[in-house]
Every structure is written in structure tokens, then in C-alpha cells.
Amino acid sequence: MARFTGKSVVITGGSSGIGLATAQRIVAEGGQALITGTNAEKLAAARAEGIHALENNAADFAAADALAAKAKELFGQIDGVFLNAGIGKGAHLGHITPEFYHLQMDLNVGGVIFGAQALLPLLRQGGSILVTASAAKDRGIVEGAIYSATKGAVRSMVRGLARELAPQGIRVNCVSPGPIETPFFERIGLPKEVLDMIVQHATQTNPLGRMGRVEEAAAVAAFLLSDEASFVTGADYAVDGGEAQL
């Protein structure tokens, strides 16, 4: 399969997890990918695989313009944007500080809107914007009010942008991962015993009885970024083992 031959895609938060797996798939299918992240070592490892990489923090709104400049330098125009950078942390009501609020809102919501705004001028007609939402937007999660709110916000944003950009032939969709085996929870500093409890609970309650793999989420992301999804826009694709529906 060579769906991305001659195509280029920008992926924020692409140095690990779903973002990296999607970049690897795009390159394997003949395309070029530019990923961003804040871990220099992981970015260097991606470059060794033939993936372009830029140290860039999506929570810094000015960084979106730097990313667009790099993408233009490398590719001229681009065919897809995967706004995947995000973070999730929990706090009970009464312990939510302005810093806690901004940490997630600025990255999960601001990073999406300013990233889309900066990269839109580079997108070819018929291109695709994909945003990572989450199954958390559809569920009540203790300590998760802010995180769930950010993911609900980007789902609504996808609808608005899909309608706005449809006349330009640009599709906008989101993917909502459920319990996927990624470094997401390790990055936010949860101890191993808590991680083990999360995995055990997810396995026991998921309709398919297991955690998902990053490759499974990346397969859906690659589909939505490819021309195979040319008549799909405004959609939310759940990759959650059935949690949202069953």
C-alpha cells in the first residue's frame, strides 16, 4: 500500500505513541512526515527512521508559526495535519489551580486552534486536518473534569472547522482513542502501581477485554489523513474497543 506517495503530513506530539506510529506508517507508505515534540532524544531517534522532526511545544502559541515555517521550508505545501499533542492530568474540585487549568487548556485546545490556523495556508485543496480527541469527552471521570472538557472542546471545534473549510475541499475529523498502550500515563508521572491498576481496570471493563495498541489507533489516523477518507469530514472515529457504544 502506498497511499502517501508524494504526500507530506505534519504531526504535533509525534515523538511517541499514536503520533509516532502514524508518522512511521506514513513514511512506510511512501510519504514524508514532520513531527514535533519536546524530547530531543526521542526526536533524534525519529530522525534516524527517516522522519523529519522539530523541537516545538504546541502549548506555546507562537511555536505554531515556527512549525509552519519549518513545514514550508521542507515541503512547500502539505497534504495533511495531525494535531495530536496533548496532556491529561487529574485534580479534584477544590484543588484546580489556574496553572493546572492553563496547562491542559493551552495545549489541548489552544495548541489545536493555533496549530490549525498557522498550517492552513500550506494545506493543498483536498487536504486533511485530524485532531486527537478522547473517549474521556463522553464519560464522567473523577478528577477528569478539565481534561474531559478540553477533549469535548476539540470535538466541537472539529465540527465548526469542518463546516468552515468544506468549501476549500479540506476535511476536518477527529479520532477518539480509548485505553491505548502508550507512554501517555507515564509522562504525567503516575506511579507504576497506579498504572497497573489503570491497565487492569481497562482490561476488565473494555468490551474487547484488552488495551488497544498504538498501531491500531495509527491505522485509523492514517485512513482519515489519506485520500481513502475523501468523503469523510466532521466525523469522530472512536478507537476504544467499543467503550463509547457498548
Active site residue 147: yes
Q: Which of 42, 101, 137, 151 is catalytic?
A: 151
Q: Is the dihedral of CA 56, 58, 59, 62 positive or negative?
A: positive
For 243, half-sphere exposure in the C-beta direction (CA atoms, 13 angstrom radius) is: 25
d(CA 92, CA 237): 29
What is the b/e burial string over 152-168, where b = at least 16 CB atoms within 10 angstroms of the residue's CB?
A: bbbbebbeebbeebeee
∠ CA(213), CA(171), CA(219), 5° rounding?
A: 15
The one-letter amino acid at 146: I
Report yes or no: 108 and 154 within 8 Å, Cβ to Cβ.
Answer: yes
Packing angle, helices 63-75 and 111-119, rounded to 10: 40
Q: Which of 72, 89, 137, 147 is catalytic?
A: 147
Active site residue 101: no
Q: Which residues are catalytic?
A: 147, 151
